[in-house]
Amino acid sequence: MDKSKYIRTAAVIGIAGNAILAALKIVVGVITQSAALIGDGIDSSTDVLISIITLVVVKVISAPADVKHPWGHGRAETVAVAFLSFMIFFAGAQLTVNSVSNLISGTHNFVPSTMAIIVTLVSIVGKILLAWSQYILGKRADSPMLKANAKNMAGDVLISFGVLIGLVISLLTDSAYADTIIALLIGAWIIKIAVGIFLEANLELMDGNSDMAPYRVIVDAVDSVEGAYDPHRARMRRVAGFWDIDFDIGVDPRCTVSEAHDIASQVEQEVKKRLENVFDIMIHIEPRGDCATESFGLSEDDMRGDCEAAE
């Protein structure tokens, strides 16, 4: 099964599972007058939209490269992740504002019934299964979008646990204050998740990389090939789960073009052996010892030093 099929399968599972949970929580939340349960249902509704957008995105990223998009359409997935973070943030902000408004105005709902507790327990089990499915499929597809969605659903499990605690406290104390406060905390948690997802997507959109370890792969690959020296001006970026790599190496100035090309090809193969999901590698050849100072890319010292520090 290729990446697009994994993503499509995850999206269908997400739509079906979250639609059922959202409808159940919102309906029972309205019946039992539980603000926290309604908020949890709204959060599940955003997950349905996320899965629908995922289905749209998979068609875009499956399209082959063209004149306007020579690197393909993989960035659409990262853009979608950023967009999803805004949707999640909006849902959390709306719930937070409403909860604060209810606390300030003194407006509280009736004490929820045990029916709300039963639905919350069903939601916890359902969300665990959904988060697990998204994580497994996201790992197999190496999809940042599915991994972000899995993280979001894992957070939903904690949200449902919070709802459960609030409902139990409300029933034990015969007060709806706990339910409203839990709704407020749920809103804040949703906002936190949204910000985290956005920051990860923004890092990829800016061609950044928080993990320095992959740069060590370049150093090790060059060290393993006879005749290859001085890896520098290294740049690595992720495009929808795939690596786009660009760096320079030094070779003996007396090498022929053919010999230098063979050395670069060996380095390329060594990188691919050590690093999965490589989209493209561009290696520029220079005479050994003639490493010009550039304003971009990592030097050999950067790669060795930063990677060792990270370890």
Cα–Cα distances in Å, from 63 out to 2, 32, 58? 14, 47, 9
- Give the chain's domains with CATH numbers: 3-205 (1.20.1510.10), 213-310 (3.30.70.1350)
The strand pairing partners of 281, in sequence order, are 245
User: Sheet holding 278-287: strands in order across?
Assistant: 229-239, 242-251, 278-287
Q: How confident is the model at residue 59 (pLDDT cuts 50, 70, 90)?
A: confident
Q: How confident is the model at residue 311 (pLDDT cuts 50, 70, 90)?
A: very low
Is the pTM higher than 0.85? The answer reads no
Q: Is 231 helix (H, G, I), strand (E, B) or coil?
A: strand
Residue 266: the pLDDT is 93
Q: What is the mean pLDDT of residues 203-211?
A: 70
**Pick from 186, 184, 67, 200: nearest CA to 123:** 186
Read off φ and ψ for residue 37, nearest 5 degrees.
-70, -40
Residue 282 CB: number of other CB atoms within 10 A? 12
- Give the H/E segment covering residue 263: helix 257-274
Amino acid in the structure at residue 69: H
Average pLDDT in the chain:
80
Between 40 and 265, the higher pLDDT residue: 265
pLDDT tens digits for 143-196? 777 777 787 788 778 778 877 887 788 777 776 677 778 778 878 887 887 888
Provide CB contacts within 8 A for 248, sequence distance 6+: 230, 231, 232, 233, 234, 283, 284, 285, 286, 291, 297
235: left (phi over 0), alpha (psi -120 to 50) or beta: beta
How far is 79 from 147, CA to CA, in rounded Å?
A: 14
101-138 burial: b if 16+ Cβ within 10 Å, else e:
ebeeeeebbebbbeebbebbebbbebbeebbebbbebb
The CA angle 202-208-209, to the nearest 5 degrees, is 110
Between 105 and 246, the higher pLDDT residue: 246
pLDDT tens digits for 212-247? 777 888 888 999 999 998 888 888 887 766 788 889
Residue 226: DSSP 8-state? T
pLDDT greater than 90 at residue 261:
yes
Q: Are 238 and 273 in contact (CB under 8 A)?
A: no
Q: What is the mean pLDDT of residues 37-50?
A: 80
Residue 216: the pLDDT is 85
Amino acid in the structure at residue 182: I
Residue 143: the pLDDT is 76
Amino acid in the structure at residue 160: S
How far is 165 from 271, CA to CA, in rounded Å?
A: 50
**What tokens appear for 156 in the block?**
């939903």
**What tokens appear for 215 in the block?**
């740069």
